[in-house]
Chain A
Amino acid sequence: MRTEVDHNEIQELLGAYALHAVEGDEAAAIEAHIAWCPECRDELAQHLEVASMLSATERFAPTELWDTIVRQIPTTPGEETFPNPRDDTPAPSGRADAAVVPLRRRWLRPLAAAAAIVVIAGTAAVQSVRLNAVTADLAAEQALVAALRNELEKPPLDLAVAQALAGSENRQLMLGSQVSGSNAVIVLMPDGTGYLAEHTLRPLPADRTYQLWAIIDGKIISAGILGPDPGIVPFRIDPEGFSGFAITEEVVGGVESSQNDPVIAWLEA
C-alpha cells in the first residue's frame, strides 16, 4: 500500500527524475507512482517544461561547470591544465588525439533509411537539412527518392495547412463544446483565408452536412459547407469585424440561416 511517506519521497525526486538523473529502482518507483498520482504527474510535467527551456541556454557551456568537472578528472603526466573555456585555442594535442570509443550502435543503423524520409519530409517547410551520411546508403537514397515523390504528389491543401500552421502571424482557433465533446482546429490568416485543419466531429449520414459559420460584425454568415465527414476544408471570410466561428449540422446542401444550435464554436474573448 502506498503511504504518504512514499509520496513525499517520490515528490522530492521529481526534479532529478525530470533531468534523467535518477536510475534503476528509484526511477521505476517514480514511474509506478506517477501513473496513479496526478499531483506528482503535474509537478513532473512542470519540471519537464522548465528543463526543455534550459536548452535555450546552450550556446556556451558555463565556466562553473567546466571548473567542477575538471577538478574530477585526473590529469595525465605532463599535462598540467585543461584548456580555459573562454580560450579559443585548441585543446592540447594529447587530449585531442585521445581515443574515443565509437558509440554508434546497431539500434541506430536501421534508422538510416527511414531517416531519409524524415529529412525529405522537411523539404516542404525546412529550409536547410543536412543529409550527411544518411544518403551514403543506396537503400536510403531509394527511400529518399520515394519520399520526395510522395511529397511532390501530396495534395496542396496539406502543404497549405502545414504552412499556415507554421505562420506566426496566423491564428489557430480551437472550436469546442462541452455538450458534444467534439473540437476542431481552424487556422485563420490575416487576409481572411482559413482552413478547417483538424477535428473530432463524428461522421454524419449522407443526407446531412456540417456547415461553418463566421460571426462578422455581430452577424452570422455562412463560411462554407463542410460535408458529412470533412477533411481539410479551405474557406475565406472578411477578417474585419470577425469575432467567432460556429459549426452546425444541417441538411445536405446547407442552409442560408441556421435554426440549429452549434455543434462546436469559438468566440472571441
Chain B
Amino acid sequence: METMSRQADIALVAQLAAGHEGALAEVYRRHGGPVLGLAKRLLRDPDLAEEIVQEVMLRLWNNPEKYDGSRGSLRSYLLAHTHGRSVDLIRSESSRRMREERDAQLAVAAGLSLEEEVWEMALADHIRSALSELDEAVRKAIELAYFGGYTYREVAKLLDTPEGTIKSRIRSGLQRLNGLLANSGLAPVG
C-alpha cells in the first residue's frame, strides 16, 4: 500500500512530466535543501554541491519517467542520485588531492556551513538517536561509506576489518536503523 506522501510524489512527478515548471519548483522546495546538504556534506565545495543540485533537478526534469514511485520515495530517489554523483566526483582520480583537503577540513567547516541548512530538526534528532543505538563498529562502517564516500573495501582497510564483515555490518546496520525508525514512527518502508 502506497503512503499518501508517496501518492503525492507520484502526482508531483506526473505534473512534472506534463511540463509544469511549478511541479519542479515544488520538488525543489521540498527536497532541494536535503539534496544540497548531502552534496555539501560529501564534497565540501559549496559551488560544486550547487552544481550537483542543478544536475539532479535537471535530470528529474528531463527524465521524470526514471522515477518509479512503486520503488521508493522521491526524496530517496533524488538523494540516491545526489550521493552517487558526489561519490563519483570524490573517487575520480583527479580529485584525490581534493579529497585529502576535504577530509582535513571535514569537521571544521561543518559546524558553520551546515548550520544554515538545518531542516526537519525533529527528524534529525530521531535519526541521531537511532544511530546512537547502533554498535560503534557498525555505525563507523556506515558513516565512512555514506558520508566519507568510501567503498566497502576501502572501509575494510580503514578499519582493518575483513571485507565480509564490513558488508554485513552495513547491511545489518541499515536494517537495524529501519527497525529503530519504525519504532519512532518514521519507518521508511516495511
Contacts and interface: CB of A to CB of B under 8 A. Distances in A.
Interface of A: 11-16, 18-23, 41-42, 45-66, 68-70, 72-73, 82-88, 90-91, 95-96, 98-101, 103-104, 108, 111-112, 114-115, 117-118, 120-126, 129-130, 132-134, 147, 150-151, 154, 158-159, 161-162, 165-166, 172, 174, 185, 197-198
Interface in B103-162: 103-108, 110-112, 114-115, 117-120, 123-124, 127-128, 131, 136, 139-140, 142-152, 155, 158-159
B124 A56 contact: yes
A69 B166 CA distance: 17
B11 A198 contact: yes
A121 B57 CA distance: 11
Interface string B24-55: 11101110101001100101010110110011
A116 to B, nearest CB: 9
B174 A47 contact: yes
A58 B97 contact: no
Nearest to A170: B8
B136 A64 contact: yes
Given A56-B34, A59-B114, A19 B97 contact: no
Contact of B55 (A66, A103, A108, A162): A108
Nearest to B111: A60
* Secondary structure type dominating chain A contacts: helix
A112 B131 CA distance: 38
Contacts of B119: 56
B140 A19 contact: no
A51 B25 contact: no
Contacts of A197: 11, 15
B89 to A, nearest CB: 5
B94 A19 contact: no
A114 B55 CA distance: 9
A166 B101 CA distance: 39
A154 B107 contact: no
Given A124-B25, A162-B15, A61 B150 contact: no
Given A55-B37, A165-B11, A14 B171 contact: yes
A138 B149 CA distance: 36
A113 B22 CA distance: 18
Nearest to B45: A103
A47 B123 CA distance: 17
Contacts of B118: 59
B21 A49 contact: no
B168 interface: yes
A125 B22 contact: yes
Given A59-B118, A69-B106, A85-B106, A165 B26 contact: yes
Given A15-B174, A20-B84, A95-B101, A121 B24 contact: yes
A162 to B, nearest CB: 4
Given A19-B83, A125-B26, 6 more contacts: A19-B146, A59-B117, A61-B106, A69-B106, A111-B51, A126-B25
A184 to B, nearest CB: 9
A57 B124 contact: yes
Given A66-B107, A118-B54, A172-B11, A57 B136 contact: no
Nearest to B172: A15
Nearest to B38: A55
A158 B58 CA distance: 20
Contacts of B101: 95, 98, 100
A64 B80 contact: no
Nearest to A116: B54
A148 to B, nearest CB: 10
Contacts of A62: 143, 147
Contact of A90 (B47, B108, B148, B188): B108
B140 to A, nearest CB: 6
Contact of B114 (A14, A45, A60, A91): A60
A52 B55 contact: no
21 contacts: A15-B173, A16-B170, A18-B174, A19-B145, A23-B151, A51-B146, A52-B76, A55-B34, A57-B131, A58-B37, A60-B111, A66-B106, A69-B103, A69-B158, A85-B107, A88-B112, A117-B61, A126-B25, A165-B8, A165-B11, A165-B12
